[in-house]
Amino acid sequence: MKNYQPSLVRYKHIQYRKCGNSGLKLPALSLGLWHNFGHVNNFENSRNLIHTAFDHGITHFDLANNYGPPPGSAEENFGKILNQDFKNHRDELIISSKAGYTMWDGPYGDWGSKKYLISSLDQSLKRLGLDYVDIFYHHRPDPDTPLLETMAALDLIVRQGKALYIGISNYNAQQTLEASKILKSLGTPCLIHQPKYSMFVRDPENGLLDVLENEGIGCIPFSPLAQGILTDKYLNGIPADSRVATSGIFLNENHITSETIEKVNKLNELAKERGQKLAHMALAWLYRDSRVTSVLIGSSKPEQITDSLEALKNITFTIEELTRIDAILKL
């Protein structure tokens, strides 16, 4: 591939929203590198995904220490892409990483101790070839480490200059409130929370979104399409080339019941009435809430990124439409 020259109109394609009470704005859609960026994937395709995203104003790229496979390889590959193509554009990018799940053997390669978080970020920065990340998350709460230790480690990371902001992921409402209060007392407020949230997974509505609003914390949902269920892929059952059929790790046949397919078809009918694809409506449904700063999408093909941007053309819902969605999901 020849030298990459970013689109000169890249900031015309997408809107940006302030993240909580901070001064940081994030694009309406951000690109997650959970899948399709490991050493098992085609590097040039991964590179093309990053180019396509940035050319359309997607400035935020979300990683974690264990993304791959193998673990760490997504950061290595993204680091190569940064070095090849983005040396002159680092200050236009928001790059995030995380630690909290198993990364290496032994008692110091998992969860939320200061030892693990500091060591893991040092490794991530080496893989990425960076001096700092913009956002560093604790990936999940640790039941065996005092919350003060974990939050103090995040505060230290900012003070060391290894991250500009910190966030948390997979914390419930009460854990988030406690973490936020500790971080404010330390002088490093929590910037953002990354929960699993979609039409089919609505746990954040049980108090978490209210905490985020009250504490001035942004929200960036992951798995907004419920691992592909909220697309037209499963309208007629399980296709042979789907993630369910080929992998079954994060999504399997138990998730695609006849009741689920019925709901998806009814949602698809409503999406058609709105002049949208089902996937577009699902993304718009999340972004309609002003508490949601950005929605994290995944992609295996560049055209999936440009297609997702179509969702932003209609993020307004009538009360009747929202009521219908709730009724369908309760079937």
What's the pLDDT band for 254 if we cut at 50, 70, 90?
A: low
The better pLDDT of the pair 241, 54 is held by 54
Beta bridge partners of 60: 94
Give the global pTM: 0.94
Q: CA-to-CA distance for 173 and 171, rounded, in angstroms?
A: 7
The pLDDT tens digits for 18-62 are: 999 999 999 999 999 999 999 999 999 999 999 999 999 999 999
Q: Which fold has domain 10-228+286-312?
A: TIM Barrel (3.20.20)
Which is it for the CA torsion 294, 26, 170, 319, positive or negative?
negative
Evaluate if residue 83 carries a pLDDT over 90: yes
Q: Which residue ranges make up each domain of the chain?
A: 10-228+286-312
pLDDT at residue 64 greater than cutoff 80 = yes
Residue count of the chain: 331
Report whether 22 contacts 165 (CB < 8 A). Answer: yes
pLDDT for residue 242? 56
Q: What is the pLDDT of residues 224-236, one digit of tens each?
A: 999 899 999 888 7
